[in-house]
């Protein structure tokens, strides 16, 4: 295919302006690939040969592009999942708050469940006697709690003994290291005896 230099110049101007069609691009590529060109077009020839060689590696780049697009899609789907999860938490929080409000209403604000203060009566007429009885009840509760904690004192003693035994594990680690050193010493002695 032989083309006149003026036609080549016109096509090159259109090409560099970005106004060529795919057929015109193909004509230029074939011209610079197949024929010897005048010296004035040598730079353009090198450009077209370079772009032709790059076109051979294009499938590799398109594979990379596909991988990038896949990765971007995965990232977008992860972002959508986190948005869905956060909406789930919001809905669960609203449901829990609604349940608390309903429970509080049913417990405290229902007229039939409300006990009027005027209906409450003192069981003791003498305040000193009421104080003494309250003091006796609290003392009884305190004694019962103290009995339960006496059993726990024995457990704390056992725990202190176990802490002292934990130092023995360090001794076991030292014995393992000593065993490794003795194995090394024995193998080095046997090698020395063989070389003599």
**What digits encode the pLDDT tens for the residues 74-92?**
877 776 666 666 777 788 8
Residue 102 lies in a domain: no
Please tell me the total count of domains within the chain: 3
Measured CA to CA, the distance from residue 136 to residue 126 in angstroms comes to 16
The answer to whether 29 and 52 are in contact (CB under 8 A) is yes
- Residue 45 sits in the same domain as residue 15: yes
Of 106-120, 156-170, 182-196, least confident by mean pLDDT is: 106-120
Residue 155 lies in a domain: yes
Residue 128 lies in a domain: no
Residue 11 lies in a domain: yes
pTM for the full predicted model: 0.29
Domain range enclosing 152: 138-196
Residue 12 lies in a domain: yes
The answer to whether 9 and 40 are in contact (CB under 8 A) is no
- Residue 184 sits in the same domain as residue 142: yes
Q: What residues contact 28, with CB distance under 8 A and at least 6 apart?
A: 8, 11, 12, 15, 20, 48
């Amino acid at each position: 295919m032989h083309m006149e230099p003026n036609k080549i110049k016109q096509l090159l101007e259109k090409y560099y302006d970005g106004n060529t069609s795919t057929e015109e691009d193909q004509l230029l590529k074939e011209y610079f690939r197949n024929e010897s060109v005048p010296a004035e077009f040598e730079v353009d020839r090198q450009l077209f040969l370079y772009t032709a060689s790059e076109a051979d590696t294009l499938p590799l780049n398109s594979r990379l592009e596909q991988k990038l697009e896949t990765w971007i899609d995965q990232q977008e789907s992860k972002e959508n999942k986190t948005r869905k999860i956060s909406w789930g938490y919001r809905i669960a929080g609203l449901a829990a708050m609604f349940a608390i409000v309903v429970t509080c209403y049913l417990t405290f604000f229902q007229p039939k469940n409300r006990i009027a203060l005027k209906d409450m009566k003192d069981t003791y007429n003498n305040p000193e006697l009421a104080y003494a009885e309250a003091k006796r009840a609290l003392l009884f509760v305190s004694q019962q709690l103290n009995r339960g904690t006496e059993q726990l004192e024995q457990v704390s003693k056992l725990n202190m003994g176990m802490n002292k035994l934990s130092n023995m594990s360090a001794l076991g680690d030292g014995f393992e290291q000593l065993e490794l050193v003795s194995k090394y010493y024995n193998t080095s002695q046997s090698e020395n005896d063989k070389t003599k």
